[in-house]
Amino acid sequence: MVQGLKDKFEQVFGEREEMRYYFSPGRINLIGEHIDYNGGVVFPAAITLGTFAAVSPREDKQVNLYSGNFASVGVVSFDVADLGRKEDEPWTVYAKGVMDVYQKAGYPVDKGFDGYIEGNIPNGSGLSSSASLEVLIGLILADLNRFSITGAQNALLAQKAENEYVGVNCGIMDQFAIAMGKEAKALMLNTDTLDYTYADCDLGAYQILIMNTNKRRELADSKYNERRAECDAALGLLKQVVDIAHLCDLTVDKFDEVKHVLTEENLLKRTRHAVTENARVKAAVAALSVNDLIGFGALLNASHDSLRTDYEVTGMELDAIVDGARSLAGVLGARMTGAGFGGCAIALVHEDALETVKNQVAIMYEKAVGYLPDFYVASIGDGAKKIQEV
């Protein structure tokens, strides 16, 4: 991989004496969707798909970036002293945003570099390609500018860049899982306190099948910010009758007691999803801890049903691919993962049934929506890191 990155870098920028290499993964969220901005507990994991970078430091303050995924854009150049957002900013908006927030946070981001960046996360798939890039840039900045930063700090600054520079009001889960991931471990993360524990993710003879609907979901253009606003509105009403800071501070029983103040149906449904999903995460972690894969699969199904009915973020494509998988032998459960409105779903599938499930889901999905999905078997891997130099 490193030699391939070096070769591609040199095709764009020519040979360099000093080269450095980095990797930042994508993520899947096993369960706990749309609650990372509601103070909930989530259960994501880093995966072995991700974003790679080959970087050479410069003596000046110019940054030259090229993406193998957006080759038609060519090299994008800017100065670390001028990180203002341009109206027609391409993919580099994420990189510039991270540099901007690091500078404003007082970090010495003053060294330019040439960078070749390429990822194998499908764009728009909901596997967090943008967060992967943001965390990657933070890692590069710390290394080139010789300052120390923890994975948690990198995640928080990456989230800040997406919120304030890019303009997407995302929660912390994606960046945190990407920065802090560990091989064969999932993260149980309290998104309010940022307390976290690693949990073994031993699925025995079952594997996580990622099912890409191939319907792109553009987070900034979706109803994501609308859902956040609805949750904020519901929280404001609930605070009149109960002392909470976040929707997920409510237990299911307490929600039943106070839900009468949510007279608007949409606000009631959004809150019910947040509260019940938070409970499902805790139940899922407990189920995995005793190898109750049947119980874990049932919780995946319940999560998708709630996202479909109460949060209304699935859509025809995700519902078709999840329903198709659920109908087949060897599948213990399936749900959308990510923000929704397209992108990917995951299914817990017995290894002996993988090929049959992929073939049968593809047939059913194409019949329902008119085109084929893609499939990947997810391996849970390490978080963002510098990789071997050559």
Which residue numbers are catalytic?
A: 174
Sign of CA dihedral 211, 216, 222, 225: positive
Q: Are strands 374-378 and 206-212 parallel, antiparallel or unpaired?
A: antiparallel
The residues that bridge with 331 in the sheet, in sequence order, are 349
Taking Cα atoms as reference points, which of 254, 256, 249, 224 lies closest to residue 235? 249
**Phi and psi for 189 in degrees, rounded to 5?**
-115, 125
Is residue 242 within 8 A of residue 254, CB to CB? The reply is yes
Q: What share of the chain is helix, strand, coil (3-state, %, to 5)?
A: 45, 25, 35
Is residue 384 within 8 A of residue 351, CB to CB? The reply is no
Per the rule left: phi > 0, alpha: psi between -120 and 50, beta: everything else, 96 is alpha
Q: Are strands 41-57 and 331-337 parallel, antiparallel or unpaired?
A: unpaired
Which contacts of 288-291 are long-range, i.e. CB under 8 A and separated by 24 or more positions?
288/186, 288/199, 288/200, 288/201, 288/202, 289/199, 291/202, 291/204
**Phi and psi for 4 in degrees, rounded to 5?**
-65, -40
Count of H-run helices and E-run strands, the chain: 11, 12
- Per DSSP, which regions of the chain are E strands? 20-31, 41-57, 62-67, 76-79, 113-119, 185-190, 196-200, 206-212, 331-337, 344-350, 374-378, 385-387
Strand (E) or helix (H) holding 319: helix 316-326
